[in-house]
Protein backbone atom coordinates (compact mmCIF):
# COMPACT_ATOMS: atom_id res chain seq x y z
CA UNK A 1 0.00 0.00 0.00
CA UNK A 2 1.48 3.34 -1.06
CA UNK A 3 1.22 6.57 0.96
CA UNK A 4 -1.85 7.80 -0.93
CA UNK A 5 -3.69 4.50 -0.53
CA UNK A 6 -2.83 4.46 3.18
CA UNK A 7 -4.22 7.97 3.59
CA UNK A 8 -7.46 7.02 1.84
CA UNK A 9 -7.84 3.95 4.02
CA UNK A 10 -7.44 6.08 7.15
CA UNK A 11 -10.11 8.48 5.94
CA UNK A 12 -12.67 5.86 4.93
CA UNK A 13 -12.22 3.39 7.78
CA UNK A 14 -13.26 5.61 10.67
CA UNK A 15 -12.65 3.92 14.00
CA UNK A 16 -14.05 5.37 17.24
CA UNK A 17 -11.68 8.13 18.39
CA UNK A 18 -9.78 7.70 21.62
CA UNK A 19 -9.93 9.80 24.78
CA UNK A 20 -6.86 11.76 23.77
CA UNK A 21 -6.41 15.44 22.97
CA UNK A 22 -4.73 17.21 20.08
CA UNK A 23 -3.77 20.84 20.67
CA UNK A 24 -3.34 23.10 17.63
CA UNK A 25 -1.56 26.46 17.87
CA UNK A 26 -2.15 28.92 15.04
CA UNK A 27 0.40 31.61 15.90
CA UNK A 28 3.36 32.34 13.59
CA UNK A 29 5.33 33.70 16.57
CA UNK A 30 7.40 31.09 18.38
CA UNK A 31 7.26 31.34 22.16
CA UNK A 32 4.53 33.96 22.04
CA UNK A 33 1.35 34.40 24.03
CA UNK A 34 -0.69 31.87 22.08
CA UNK A 35 1.98 29.24 22.70
CA UNK A 36 1.80 29.95 26.42
CA UNK A 37 -1.98 29.71 26.44
CA UNK A 38 -1.90 26.42 24.55
CA UNK A 39 0.71 25.03 26.93
CA UNK A 40 -1.45 25.91 29.94
CA UNK A 41 -4.44 24.13 28.41
CA UNK A 42 -2.34 21.06 27.69
CA UNK A 43 -0.95 21.07 31.23
CA UNK A 44 -4.49 21.18 32.59
CA UNK A 45 -5.54 18.20 30.47
CA UNK A 46 -2.51 16.14 31.44
CA UNK A 47 -3.44 16.38 35.12
CA UNK A 48 -6.17 13.87 34.30
CA UNK A 49 -3.62 11.49 32.76
CA UNK A 50 -5.19 12.02 29.34
CA UNK A 51 -2.72 11.68 26.48
CA UNK A 52 -2.31 15.20 25.11
CA UNK A 53 0.14 16.74 22.69
CA UNK A 54 0.41 20.05 20.88
CA UNK A 55 1.33 21.03 17.35
CA UNK A 56 2.22 24.51 16.11
CA UNK A 57 1.02 25.05 12.56
CA UNK A 58 4.02 27.28 11.80
CA UNK A 59 6.13 24.12 12.04
CA UNK A 60 3.97 22.25 9.52
CA UNK A 61 4.60 22.69 5.81
CA UNK A 62 1.11 22.78 4.32
CA UNK A 63 -1.18 24.97 2.27
CA UNK A 64 -4.83 25.91 2.20
CA UNK A 65 -7.58 24.02 0.41
CA UNK A 66 -7.44 24.43 -3.39
CA UNK A 67 -11.04 23.38 -3.98
CA UNK A 68 -10.18 20.37 -6.16
CA UNK A 69 -13.06 18.39 -4.58
CA UNK A 70 -11.14 15.08 -4.78
CA UNK A 71 -12.01 14.54 -1.14
CA UNK A 72 -15.67 14.06 -2.05
CA UNK A 73 -14.67 10.75 -3.62
CA UNK A 74 -11.65 9.76 -1.53
CA UNK A 75 -13.12 10.96 1.82
CA UNK A 76 -9.76 12.50 2.76
CA UNK A 77 -7.63 15.22 1.18
CA UNK A 78 -5.69 13.64 -1.68
CA UNK A 79 -5.48 16.71 -3.91
CA UNK A 80 -2.60 17.93 -1.77
CA UNK A 81 0.18 15.88 -0.23
CA UNK A 82 1.92 17.91 2.45
CA UNK A 83 2.30 18.24 6.20
CA UNK A 84 -1.45 18.18 6.71
CA UNK A 85 -1.49 14.60 5.45
CA UNK A 86 0.42 13.61 8.57
CA UNK A 87 -2.01 15.46 10.87
CA UNK A 88 -5.15 13.69 9.67
CA UNK A 89 -4.48 10.48 11.64
CA UNK A 90 -4.09 12.49 14.86
CA UNK A 91 -7.30 14.40 14.16
CA UNK A 92 -9.24 11.22 13.43
CA UNK A 93 -7.94 9.35 16.46
CA UNK A 94 -8.29 12.17 19.03
CA UNK A 95 -11.72 12.80 20.50
CA UNK A 96 -10.55 16.06 22.07
CA UNK A 97 -9.30 19.15 20.25
CA UNK A 98 -7.80 22.45 21.41
CA UNK A 99 -7.53 25.40 19.02
CA UNK A 100 -5.67 28.58 19.96
CA UNK A 101 -5.12 31.60 17.70
CA UNK A 102 -4.17 35.24 18.13
CA UNK A 103 -6.33 37.83 16.44
CA UNK A 104 -4.99 38.95 13.06
CA UNK A 105 -7.01 41.74 11.47
CA UNK A 106 -10.26 40.83 13.28
CA UNK A 107 -9.88 37.13 12.53
CA UNK A 108 -7.85 33.96 13.08
CA UNK A 109 -4.40 33.69 11.54
CA UNK A 110 -3.87 32.49 7.99
CA UNK A 111 -2.31 29.31 9.41
CA UNK A 112 -5.40 28.47 11.47
CA UNK A 113 -7.73 29.32 8.59
CA UNK A 114 -5.82 27.01 6.25
CA UNK A 115 -5.96 24.23 8.85
CA UNK A 116 -9.72 24.57 9.29
CA UNK A 117 -10.29 24.71 5.54
CA UNK A 118 -8.41 21.43 5.14
CA UNK A 119 -10.98 19.77 7.44
CA UNK A 120 -13.47 20.17 4.57
CA UNK A 121 -12.57 16.62 3.53
CA UNK A 122 -14.61 15.23 6.43
CA UNK A 123 -17.93 16.41 4.97
CA UNK A 124 -20.30 14.32 2.88
CA UNK A 125 -22.51 16.09 0.34
CA UNK A 126 -25.58 14.94 -1.54
CA UNK A 127 -26.24 15.74 -5.20
CA UNK A 128 -29.07 18.23 -4.71
CA UNK A 129 -28.48 21.94 -5.06
CA UNK A 130 -28.02 23.62 -2.67
CA UNK A 131 -26.30 20.48 -1.46
CA UNK A 132 -27.17 18.99 1.88
CA UNK A 133 -24.23 17.88 3.95
CA UNK A 134 -23.19 15.89 6.99
CA UNK A 135 -19.93 15.38 8.87
CA UNK A 136 -18.24 12.02 9.18
CA UNK A 137 -16.81 13.18 12.52
CA UNK A 138 -20.26 13.74 14.05
CA UNK A 139 -21.81 11.40 16.58
CA UNK A 140 -18.46 10.33 18.02
CA UNK A 141 -18.49 12.34 21.24
CA UNK A 142 -15.87 14.79 20.01
CA UNK A 143 -15.29 17.81 22.22
CA UNK A 144 -13.20 20.96 21.92
CA UNK A 145 -12.06 24.11 23.66
CA UNK A 146 -10.93 27.36 22.06
CA UNK A 147 -8.50 30.11 23.05
CA UNK A 148 -8.04 33.51 21.42
CA UNK A 149 -5.72 36.42 22.23
CA UNK A 150 -6.17 40.05 21.24
CA UNK A 151 -4.08 43.16 21.88
CA UNK A 152 -7.08 45.45 22.18
CA UNK A 153 -9.51 45.89 25.08
CA UNK A 154 -12.87 45.98 23.31
CA UNK A 155 -14.42 42.61 22.48
CA UNK A 156 -15.39 43.97 19.07
CA UNK A 157 -11.71 44.29 18.18
CA UNK A 158 -11.36 40.51 18.44
CA UNK A 159 -13.78 40.39 15.54
CA UNK A 160 -14.53 36.93 14.19
CA UNK A 161 -11.63 35.14 15.89
CA UNK A 162 -13.66 32.96 18.23
CA UNK A 163 -16.53 32.24 15.83
CA UNK A 164 -14.09 31.44 13.00
CA UNK A 165 -12.97 28.47 15.10
CA UNK A 166 -16.16 27.62 16.97
CA UNK A 167 -18.62 27.50 14.07
CA UNK A 168 -16.59 25.14 11.83
CA UNK A 169 -15.90 22.82 14.76
CA UNK A 170 -19.58 22.65 15.66
CA UNK A 171 -20.46 21.96 12.02
CA UNK A 172 -17.96 19.10 12.02
CA UNK A 173 -19.64 17.56 15.05
CA UNK A 174 -17.52 18.82 17.94
CA UNK A 175 -19.15 20.04 21.13
CA UNK A 176 -17.30 23.21 22.09
CA UNK A 177 -17.39 23.05 25.88
CA UNK A 178 -15.41 26.21 26.60
CA UNK A 179 -13.99 29.38 25.09
CA UNK A 180 -11.28 31.64 26.51
CA UNK A 181 -10.85 35.10 24.97
CA UNK A 182 -7.87 37.04 26.38
CA UNK A 183 -7.52 40.80 25.85
CA UNK A 184 -4.87 43.49 26.44
CA UNK A 185 -1.98 41.22 25.41
CA UNK A 186 0.52 41.83 22.62
CA UNK A 187 4.19 41.90 23.72
CA UNK A 188 5.82 38.49 23.42
CA UNK A 189 5.32 36.48 26.59
CA UNK A 190 3.16 39.16 28.22
CA UNK A 191 0.35 36.72 28.99
CA UNK A 192 2.64 35.04 31.54
CA UNK A 193 1.94 38.04 33.77
CA UNK A 194 -1.80 37.40 33.57
CA UNK A 195 -2.18 34.75 36.24
CA UNK A 196 -5.95 34.70 35.96
CA UNK A 197 -5.84 33.95 32.22
CA UNK A 198 -3.37 31.11 32.74
CA UNK A 199 -5.47 29.61 35.52
CA UNK A 200 -8.55 29.78 33.31
CA UNK A 201 -6.62 28.21 30.42
CA UNK A 202 -5.42 25.35 32.59
CA UNK A 203 -8.94 24.84 33.92
CA UNK A 204 -10.30 24.75 30.38
CA UNK A 205 -7.85 21.99 29.47
CA UNK A 206 -8.80 20.14 32.64
CA UNK A 207 -12.49 20.46 31.81
CA UNK A 208 -11.89 19.04 28.34
CA UNK A 209 -10.04 16.02 29.69
CA UNK A 210 -12.70 15.47 32.33
CA UNK A 211 -15.45 15.61 29.70
CA UNK A 212 -13.69 12.97 27.59
CA UNK A 213 -13.38 10.61 30.55
CA UNK A 214 -17.05 10.69 31.51
For residues 95 and 140, the answer to whether their CB atoms sit within 8 Å is yes
- The model's pTM: 0.93
> In this structure, what DSSP letter does residue 15 have?
P
Q: Where are the beta strands (DSSP E) in the chain?
A: 18-25, 52-56, 94-102, 123-125, 133-135, 143-149, 175-182
| Domains and their CATH numbers in the chain | 21-213 (3.40.50.360)
Could you check whether the bond before residue 130 is cis, i.e. omega within 30 degrees of 0?
yes
| pLDDT tens digit at each of 214 positions of the chain | 566 666 666 656 668 899 999 999 999 999 999 999 999 999 999 999 999 999 999 999 999 999 999 998 999 999 999 999 999 999 999 999 999 999 999 999 999 999 999 999 999 988 777 778 899 999 999 999 999 999 888 889 999 999 999 999 999 999 999 999 999 988 888 888 889 999 999 999 999 999 999 8
- CB-side exposure of 154: number of CA atoms within 13 Å? 4
Amino acid sequence: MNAREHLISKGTDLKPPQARILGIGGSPRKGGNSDTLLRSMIDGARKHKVETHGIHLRDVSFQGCVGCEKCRKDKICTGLTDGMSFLYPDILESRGLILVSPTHNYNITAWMKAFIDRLYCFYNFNRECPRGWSSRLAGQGRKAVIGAICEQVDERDMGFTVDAMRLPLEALGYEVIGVLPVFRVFEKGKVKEDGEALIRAEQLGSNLADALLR
